[in-house]
Amino acid sequence: MGGWDAFVEECTSCTRCNLHMGRKNVVIGRGNINSPPVLFVGEGPGEQEDIEGEAFVGRAGKLLDLVLEALQIQPEDYYIANVVKCRPPNNRVPAKDEIETCMPWLRYQVKTIKPSIIVCLGSVAAKALIDPDAMITKIRGDWVEKSSKFVIMPTYHPAAILRDVRKREDFYLDIKKVRDRLNLIKGKS
């Protein structure tokens, strides 16, 4: 064994931060792990994700799936992970120290998945991967190039779209930019 399987095993028994105390399941992510072009990064598991041990299976995840399907982004083209792998109590925003403690797991996922495009879903992911002072409403929709390995698209969290329909069009347009870049990478345009 080794590699991804060892990572899953270690991460599943992680107790590095206090979030391990309230979790039912560690949520590692879902999708294609064999170098898909796109990695989506959310915030952390919600109630349904904690129960099922699977990422983005609740209402926000269903909305994300609908948008990906509408834009014909194929399941083999992406993996979806979160900044923290255990559900914060009552879905509170994960604390800075919890994020810092959990980041090595996400870094391992980025290093292994080797995405060309990383999509930050919401403020927590944007702050963790782009800039601690990032305001998602200001930076969303524009490509960020911080590394020679991948480009980053910051956008809203799908849960924000459920709360505020006025954000829906921007979210769709941002994911459409991801789709267009993905098609370029795949040699379709």
Contact residues toward ligand SF4 (CB under 6 A) are 11, 14-17, 19-20, 26, 84-86, 98, 101-102, 105
Q: For residue 20, which amino acid is it?
A: H
Report residue 96 as tokens.
Answer: 């800075």
Q: Is the dihedral of CA 127, 136, 108, 14 positive or negative?
A: positive
Torsions phi, psi of 119, nearest 5?
-105, 120
Minimum CB separation of residue 183 from ligand URA in Å reads 26
Minimum CB separation of residue 188 from ligand URA in Å reads 29
Within 10 angstroms of residue 149's Cβ, the number of other Cβ atoms is 11
Q: Is residue 44 involved in binding ligand URA (CB under 6 A)?
A: yes
| Site track 47-86 with ligand URA (rule: CB under 6 A), x = hit | --x-----xx-x-xx--------------------x----
Q: Which of residues 92-121 bind ligand URA (CB under 6 A)?
A: none
Contacts of range 8-12, beta carbons closer than 8 Å, 24 or more positions apart: 11/85, 11/105
Q: Mapping DSSP to helix (H, G, I), strand (E, B) and coil, where does residue 158 land?
A: helix
Residues that bind ligand URA (CB under 6 A): 27, 42-46, 49, 55-56, 58, 60-61, 82, 159
